[in-house]
Amino acid sequence: MASDKEPTVIKKYANRRLYHTGTSSYVTLEDLAGLVRAGEDFVVYDAKSGEDITRSVLAQIIFDEEAKDGQNLLPITFLRQLIRFYGDSMQALVPRYLEFSMENFAKDQNKFREQMAKAFGGGAFGGNALDAIQAQTRANMQMFTEAFRLFNPFTAAAEARQEAEGAKPAAPAGAGELSDLKRELSEMRERLDKLSRSR
């Protein structure tokens, strides 16, 4: 959540202890997880080098949460697919897509909570909530694909003009790479659909 308030500075020392400069006290990863849930922004710096290590600390929090019984949030299929994207031509696109999807999911979370509360009436994960999540995933993917298509407005305008004239759009320069990216986005959409159905 965006805020005008400066993020809290956490310093990590060689002994792995985390120091909260705002409260002048040592904190644990569990404490930092609590700050995230409360919407408080923070950055973590290595006390010796001054390097920003926020990403690795947040990843450690996720790792610890995933290790707890009944806390598994990341499906194995998703983790495998994520690993495959490292070093892939789509690697640069994946963080933006995940961030975009999570932001939209967060915006709609109240609607999802209401639907899931109704679905959990019988104690099982209901179809209505799953349908809502799948629909949102498809909508996110469609919006993302459209946004990606608009990165090349000249191509979009040419396609629209040729479609209006009834002609098949000609392949512009660099269309091969764009076509590959569209194909990979389509494959990602199919994988997300399969992932949603397997939950």
Q: Answer yes or no: is pLDDT of 72 > 90.
A: no
CA atoms of 95 and 18, how far apart (whole Å): 27
The pLDDT-based confidence of 1 (bands split at 50, 70, 90) is very low
Kindly state whether residues 112 and 149 are assigned to the same domain.
yes
Same domain for 80 and 39? no
Structure tokens belonging to residue 72: 């598994």
Which pTM value belongs to this model? 0.55
- Shortest CA distance to 34 belongs to which of 64, 6, 12, 76? 64
Secondary structure of residue 41 in the 3-state scheme: coil
Backbone angles phi, psi at 43, to 5 degrees: -125, 150
Other C-beta atoms closer than 10 Å to the C-beta of 78 total 15
103, 192: one domain: yes
Q: Name the residue among 174, 130, 135 with its Cα closest to residue 152.
A: 174
Q: What is the predicted pLDDT for the residue at 148?
A: 56
Dist. CA 73–CA 30, nearest whole Å: 17
Residue pointed to by tokens 């494959």: 187
**Boundaries of domain holding 160:** 76-198
Same domain, 191 and 98: yes
Condensed to tens digits (0 to 9), the pLDDT of residues 129-181 reads: 566 666 766 676 666 666 555 554 444 555 556 566 665 555 544 556 666 66
Domain boundary among 19, 38, 67: 67
Cβ neighbours of 145 (radius 10 Å): 16
185 and 131 inside one domain: yes
Residues 107 and 142 grouped into a single domain: yes
